[in-house]
Structure 1
Amino acid sequence: MSTPTIQKTFHFTEAPPQGNFSIAERPVPTPGDGEVLVRVEAAALNPADWKITGPELIHVMGVLPLPLGTDGAGVVEVVGSGVTTLSKGDRVVFQGWFAPDKTTFQQYTIVNPAFAAKPVLSRVHELAQPPPFWGAGPSPSAGTPTLILGGASSVGQFAIQAAKLAGHSPIITTASLRNTSLLTSLGATHVLDRSLSVDALVAAIEGALRGTPLLYAYDAITYADTQSVAVRALAPGGKLVTVNPVPLSEEDKKAAEGMTIVFAQGNVHVPFHSAFGAEVFAQLSGWLEKGDIKPNPVGILTKGLAGIQDGLKRMEENKVSAVKLIARPQETP
Structure 2
Amino acid sequence: MEIQRLQDFELRHLRYFIAVAENKNCSISEVAEELHMAQPNLSQQLKDLETKLKVKLFDRQKRPLRLTNAGVEFLKQARLILAQVNHAIETAQQASQGTIGRLIVGFNSSVSNSVLPDLLRKFRNYFPKVKLILQERTAYSLIEGLQTQQIDIGLMHWSSLNSQDETLCVKKIQEESLVLALPENHPFVTQQEISLKSLSDESFILPPSHLPYSLYESIVSFWKQIEFVPKEIQEATLMLTILSLVAGGVGVALLPANAQNIGRKGVIYRAIQEQTPTLEIVAVWRRDRSSTVLQNFLEVIQTIAT
Check whether TM > 0.5: no
**TM-score, length-scaled by structure 1:** 0.23
**Larger Rg over CA atoms:** 2
Q: Which has the higher helix share?
A: 2
- Which structure has the higher relative contact order (CA within 8 Å, separation 6+)? 2
**TM-score, length-scaled by structure 2:** 0.25
